[in-house]
Structure 1
Amino acid sequence: MTRFIPVSELAQAAGLTNRAIERAITRTVAGQRATWRGATLVVRKVHGRGGRSGIRYEVRVDSLPLELQERLRALKSTSESPLRHGEKAQQERDWWYGLIAPALVHERHSRARGAAIAEIVSRRHMRPDGRWVSVSERTVQRKIAAFEDEGYAGLARRKRADAGAPRVIVSWRWDKAVPLDDAGKHRIADALRQYVRGLHKAGEARALLADLASFKLEQLTRKAGCDLGAQASELCRVPQPFLDQEKAYRRVALLRRDRKTFEDQKPRVLRKLAGAPMEVVYGDIHPVDIVLRREDGSTAHARAIGWLDDATRRVWLDIILVEKGKGIRNRDVIQSFINMVNAWGAPRTLYLDNGSEYNWAEFIDDALQLLDKTGQPLIERVEPGRAGIVRAQPYNAAAKSIEGIFSVLERNYFQAVPGWIAGDRMKKKTSSVGGKVEPFPGTLEEFRDLIGMQIRLYHRICQQRGKLKGRSPDQAYKEAIDAGWTMTAVQADAFRLAFSHVRELTVWQGAISFKRERWTCRELVRWQERKISVRIPKYEDWNRLPLLDRDGNLVGFAERQHAYHPLDTAGAVEAREISRLHTKEVIAMARSAPDVDLLRERSAFLDAQPPAPVAPIGATIGASDEAERFLAAWNETPAERRKRERRERELKAHEEIESFAEYKAMSSKLRRAG
């Protein structure tokens, strides 16, 4: 720090009186003392107000003791911070300092200073706001005096130290009535503030905010031990500024309840127009606000498949009137895209609507397959690994320029078409009060012609407010052509290859089945595999279907099979021909493969195999006695059965004889005993 400070500032930093500092400096200047607090002071004399004969002392800061230098740095940072508040006051200080600077170089009360002041007063000066003003001599003298007394800060009004800080805690009546210290009041105010934030977050009606917040403040005050008596409701009334300070939290309710409004209000990225035509093309599906009549007599709103060239703001629309209960199909979008490309050329980047009624996923996969003659994608890739197709965020109409164009077309051009309902289907514009909307009186083709005329008119009108800066879309397009821009044309075959898919169909009797019709060709007649790959169109009906092998190579083209009359001899000729081709192909296959003796090959295979393994017996499970008798009877022959029956009779007779002998012996014993 190499600046000088006056005695008053040094006294404040040292914690001494001005008189004590002046005595110390006087002794140093007079040589009575070499140092002050261990430091050798560097002092200078300054002419101005104060001191003897307008002379005062100033001390260089870097000659002071280190602790005082650090304290002065802290004081300087706090004293200078208010000056940084308010750009207008800072500009005024700069202006006044530049005005009085020629007079400050001269001593006070000198003729030179007086002449400098007179010269300042004699001229007109431009203020920071651009106004020319004259200043009086007295005003210049007061500004010089303020600068010499207070320094740079004296050249303009100081900003309050508490500027911007709230002067009340809740309200002046509540602050005065509640017998709590500031810390206690702030605790209540903080709790109330959180409650108000919660009300805003929940989306509470503004008419109820003040009453609910006041009731909450009354509860918090009573809970803190302060009873305000009968005047509690009046004293606890929360002022509107307190409520409005937290209204930013209403955006939470907006996010949860009204996503459309939330998205409309969120910060945006400023975008400029694309550099060249077809560099960026927007795509979207838009329900036209015009009532049409279907062929069955029902009414509906047509859909417009729209494309917007960002650089020129040109619009391409294809009108589709869908059947009842149906929606936009992929083939409709493909056909519209082809129509646009045939007229404008291929785009480099597509920007598609992510929240549309139509799912663009299938279309994106097909569009990326568009190749030029060299095999390069027509829709370029803007980043490595990222396709040149951008999906806009849902609910984000501002990210899709075509949304704004639809609004302009409806409001300024389509409103002249009969059947227009003014964009609000709940408040339709009708020819009579309470009546039904009169649909467009013409046919769908007439409606398309009329919409096409409105688009041509839009292309001719200059856009004063838009990014075209007063040019019309046709003018912007012509300027690009004059500057050397050329369109990229796409051949029909490229569309057919891109907007088709490969399906595997079953080959049966030399033909395939597609859309309940049989398709065949000479290549299919000779085809011996069960399946074949077929390229199927997505947006038009083909008379020939390309056939592909497993590697994707072209095999041939299948056509609808002709049905012959039973008496038509050409049918017999064709049957013989396809039978000959089929048999010939089978014979060719037979010649290309070797002959194999199946029995010999099987025998050789078995002979080469090891013997069948035999497991050792570890346990035997036998039948029961009854089961063995049953099995023996089941397996015996008639002769064996007769022998068995004879043995059984003999055994039974022998048992009877033995029983009789035992009986006689027992009887004899009984008689002898008796």
Structure 2
Amino acid sequence: MVSEWITTSQFAALAGIEERTARDAAAACLNGKTWKSTAMEVRREGRLLMIHGPSLPEYLRDIWHKAYEEGTRVKPPSTFTLPSPATYSEKVVNSYRWQQWRLHLIAPVLRAPKYSEERGKALRALVGKEFIKPNGKICRPSLATLQDWVKKVEEDGEQALARKAREEKEPRALVNRRWDRESPFPPERKAEIAQEIMVHVRSLWAEGAPGWNRVNQLASVKLFSLCRAAGWNEATPQNCQLGRSFVEKAREYRLIAIKEKNAKLYADRYVQYTHRTRKGMKPGDEVVADVHPLDVQRRMDGRIVHARLIAWLDLATYDLFVTLVILPPGRGIRQEDVAASFVDMVQAWGLPKRLRIDHGAEFNWDAMLRGFETLTALVKAWTDFNASLLGKGEAGELIDGDQFEPRSAVSKARPYNARAKQIEGVFGIIERFFFSMMPGWIAGDRTNKRTHNVGQAPRPYEGEDKEFARDFAICLDLYRNTPQADGSSPNDKRRAAYAAGFRPVTISRHDLMFAFSEVKTCTVRTGGIEVNGAWYRADVLIPLVTKRVDIRVAKWDLSHVFYVDAEDRLHAIPPAHQFAQDDLAGAKEQGRMAGVMNLHIRQLKAGTRPANLLIEAAAVNDALPPPPELPEGTTITTTEGTAIAAAIDSARPPDVLKRLPGQIQDPKTGAILTLRGPPNEEGSKSTAIDFDPLNFSPPTPEAKDQSLEVPELDLFQALAARHHANEKDAT
């Protein structure tokens, strides 16, 4: 490294003098003299005299300084990476600007030799002189300031003139100066209370407190209660006021309330968005859909209505396809309206490659999303088929099939994300600059409608449906023919794309009916199937009565529903025909359908044989083991149970004995008595009808019939005994 001290030989070569003359000049300066009116700084190193380069005369000092810089300059490597600072601050540039300004100011002083008269003159020339500082202010540096700057450079280098980084210190007040001064708590307790009240202030901002003054009001009461709870009985609401400075420190926590309670404001001001370009897009690459109320009032059936627009925006051309819908009272845009509009758009523009829709209920239709993916798969298969026929690379000229990816075919914009739907801005443009030409336009603000006369309601559009649709189409066509920011209109962009070879993908309405239909499970009944309150019938459904089948329904076109059978054959099911009460054709049709059902039954029966169900059931029972018998087990008896059984037996009425003809039963004993009458001449048995008590003679004891188990009884004797017993009881 080159030193600031040079030898007398180097000094002679620099000044262009003899070496002896150079040694004499150095010796003179070493003894306190000057050389060419310059007191050079000289020191002795052994036998050599060394001269300090900055102390050379001015005309030599500049030459020496250039040689010194060239010798001390460090050549950077071919790839040089500066180390990253630990922290980044904008103050670095400002500090460097001050350093260079001070260094430039004292540069004449630094060029003069130390302790020389020339340096003194340079310093005095700067004292009191006006200079403009980097911040634009005027300063007059003092002699002490200049000497201090020179000393710093000579001792510590140029970096000493840079401004020192500000040291972050603790806040001068924990809450505010009054509270810090009057509260009697120790410093540790003060810090705890300050931290607790700061958390409370943050929470108030996060909950959406309206402004700093309201936060200050609520939080000051909290600080007052904390101080009283901590033992400061002299605390008052006045000396516990936080102040705006303390409250504003936590204002950033207001973002939490905006995020959770004001999604619109959060989306407009805080949500980050990306920049997108339409460069290279072709018609139909991406289509954005939305529903918009038209700001044109119309009188219809004695009421004021606003038409609804189902709009589709082609991002490549900014062309609009619009379906105009007039709704009855109490009805909004439905999914079938959106589907019908989409089908019309596809018929006009071709099938889009990508669709971006809103989060509204009219677009939140799984059948529509699956339908677009179905079309995507169909188009992809069509592309692959043509690629195999035309050869590699040729199918791309017909359609860019790689764009048709089912997973990316449909995307939904995030809620409260107007930037994701460019169609919102287009609505504003066509409303202000095109639809405003129609009578009945209310300027977009329904609370502040533009009227013909002050204080009166705006005049609505009075034309018929055809006239309204005609005027609407005129305004929309004018938009399509109006040049945009790039100088071309939507029609010009579409015309240029067609001229460049672009060809849309078209698809028939019938294919769209199948693709954009949803599957419903219906029960087949004798009257057909019921879909959305309407009945549909076909012969293919007659054999399926009482079964549940899947029916494809395009709710935007209910002229037919569709049924796919087990063999994947598609059947169109028309609406059921309704016959008049006295129409004989209805009876004939009913007979024909009965024949279809009978034919189906005969076909089923052809695959069967006779079977006896009882014989089959008996065979099953014989094939199975007999039922199990109950094994003997432990019997538990109790005294109470035995008593209950005996009571039940005693309460049972006596059995009624069957009496034969000629027998009676004793009412007291229950014994059966046989009454023997005169013998029958014909030898037949006596009956109760043949018995005559007046002609009855009791049999003799020897004539007892030993064949009867019940003994014979003398009736008269029994009656007499009974009579005596009754008299005895009476006495």
TM-score range, shorter chain: 0.5 to 0.7
CA offsets 1:224-267 (integer angstroms, 9 cap, x no match): 7889999x94x766553433322222233334543322332222
**Structure 2 counterpart SS, 1:426:** coil
Distance 1:342 1:512, change over 3 A: same
User: One-letter code of the match for 1:390?
Assistant: S
**1:269 corresponding residue in structure 2:** 273
**2:306 corresponding residue in structure 1:** 301
**1:598 corresponding residue in structure 2:** 612
**1:418 corresponding residue in structure 2:** 439
Q: Give the drift of 1:336.
A: 0.9
Distance 1:422 1:588, change over 3 A: same
Question: Matched residues in 1 for 2:555 and 2:308: separation?
Answer: 20
Question: Matched residues in 1 for 2:234 and 2:587: separation?
Answer: 113
Q: Is the 8 A contact 2:285 2:354 kept in 1?
A: yes
Q: Is the 8 A contact 1:169 1:175 kept in 2?
A: yes
Q: Which moved more, 1:166-175 or 1:312-321?
A: 166-175
Q: 2:629 aligns with which of 615, 632, 644?
A: 615
Structure 1 unpaired stretches of 5+: 5-28, 32-44, 55-76, 118-128, 130-137, 668-674
Q: Give the drift of 1:425.
A: 2.8
Question: Matched residues in 2 for 1:226 and 1:530: separation?
Answer: 84
Q: Is the 8 A contact 1:533 1:550 kept in 2?
A: no
Say yes or no: does 1:499 pair with 2:516.
yes
**1:486 corresponding residue in structure 2:** 503
**2:208 corresponding residue in structure 1:** 203
Relative to the length of structure 2, the TM-score reads: 0.59
**1:329 corresponding residue in structure 2:** 334
**1:352 corresponding residue in structure 2:** 357
Question: Matched residues in 2 for 1:443 and 1:508: separation?
Answer: 45
Distance 1:509 1:190, change over 3 A: closer
Question: Matched residues in 1 for 2:327 and 2:586: separation?
Answer: 43
Distance 1:279 1:652, change over 3 A: farther
CA offsets 1:411-451 (integer angstroms, 9 cap, x no match): 44434433333333333333333323432222344334433
Greater helix share, structure number: 1
Question: Matched residues in 1 for 2:612 and 2:152: separation?
Answer: 122
Say yes or no: does 1:284 pair with 2:290.
yes
**1:647 corresponding residue in structure 2:** 671
User: One-letter code of the match for 1:281?
Assistant: V
Distance 1:505 1:399, change over 3 A: closer
Question: Matched residues in 2 for 1:463 and 1:320: separation?
Answer: 28
Question: Matched residues in 2 for 1:108 and 1:580: separation?
Answer: 129
Relative to the length of structure 1, the TM-score reads: 0.64
CA offsets 1:302-332 (integer angstroms, 9 cap, x no match): 2222222334433332222222112212210
Question: Matched residues in 2 for 1:597 and 1:336: separation?
Answer: 60
Q: Give the drift of 1:335.
A: 0.7
**1:245 corresponding residue in structure 2:** 249
Distance 1:640 1:595, change over 3 A: same
**Structure 2 counterpart SS, 1:272:** coil
Distance 1:416 1:223, change over 3 A: farther
**1:519 corresponding residue in structure 2:** 537
**2:159 corresponding residue in structure 1:** 153
**2:707 corresponding residue in structure 1:** none
Question: Matched residues in 2 for 1:628 and 1:559: separation?
Answer: 74
User: One-letter code of the match for 2:516?
Assistant: F
Q: 2:464 aligns with which of 439, 443, 446?
A: 443
Listed as ranges, the matches of 1:103-252 within 5 Å are 147-162=153-168, 169-171=174-176, 186-187=191-192, 189-206=194-211, 207-210=213-216, 233=238, 238-252=242-256
Question: Matched residues in 2 for 1:383 and 1:152: separation?
Answer: 66
Q: Is the 8 A contact 2:338 2:363 kept in 1?
A: no
Question: Matched residues in 2 for 1:518 and 1:81: separation?
Answer: 78
**1:553 corresponding residue in structure 2:** 569
Q: Give the drift of 1:407.
A: 3.4
Say yes or no: does 1:339 pair with 2:344.
yes
Question: Matched residues in 2 for 1:173 and 1:381: separation?
Answer: 72
Question: Matched residues in 1 for 2:149 and 2:493: separation?
Answer: 59
User: One-letter code of the match for 2:568?
Assistant: G
Q: Give the drift of 1:454.
A: 3.3
Structure 2 unpaired stretches of 5+: 4-43, 56-60, 62-82, 123-133, 135-142, 384-398, 636-641, 674-709
**2:703 corresponding residue in structure 1:** none
Distance 1:459 1:245, change over 3 A: farther
Q: Give the drift of 1:85.
A: 5.3
Question: Matched residues in 1 for 2:328 and 2:345: separation?
Answer: 24
Percentage identity across aligned positions?
26
Q: Which moved more, 1:258-267 or 1:570-579?
A: 570-579
**Structure 2 counterpart SS, 1:369:** helix
User: One-letter code of the match for 1:319?
Assistant: L
Listed as ranges, the matches of 1:661-672 within 5 Å are none
**1:73 corresponding residue in structure 2:** none
Q: Is the 8 A contact 2:379 2:401 kept in 1?
A: no
Question: Matched residues in 2 for 1:369 and 1:643: separation?
Answer: 99
Question: Matched residues in 2 for 1:518 and 1:455: separation?
Answer: 40
CA offsets 1:256-284 (integer angstroms, 9 cap, x no match): 54332233222213141355243332222
User: One-letter code of the match for 1:309?
Assistant: D
Q: 2:478 aligns with which of 457, 481, 484?
A: 457
**Structure 2 counterpart SS, 1:347:** coil
**Structure 1 counterpart SS, 2:447:** coil
**Structure 2 counterpart SS, 1:278:** coil
User: One-letter code of the match for 2:418?
Assistant: A
User: One-letter code of the match for 2:277?
Assistant: L
**Structure 2 counterpart SS, 1:318:** strand
CA offsets 1:111-150 (integer angstroms, 9 cap, x no match): xxx9xx9xxxxxxxxxxx9xxxxxxxx9999988754443
Question: Matched residues in 2 for 1:519 and 1:82: separation?
Answer: 79
CA RMSD of aligned residues (A): 5.7
**Structure 1 counterpart SS, 2:306:** strand
Q: Is the 8 A contact 1:368 1:379 kept in 2?
A: no
User: One-letter code of the match for 1:488?
Assistant: V
**2:319 corresponding residue in structure 1:** 314
CA offsets 1:67-104 (integer angstroms, 9 cap, x no match): xxxxxxxxxx9xx979955142255379779999x999
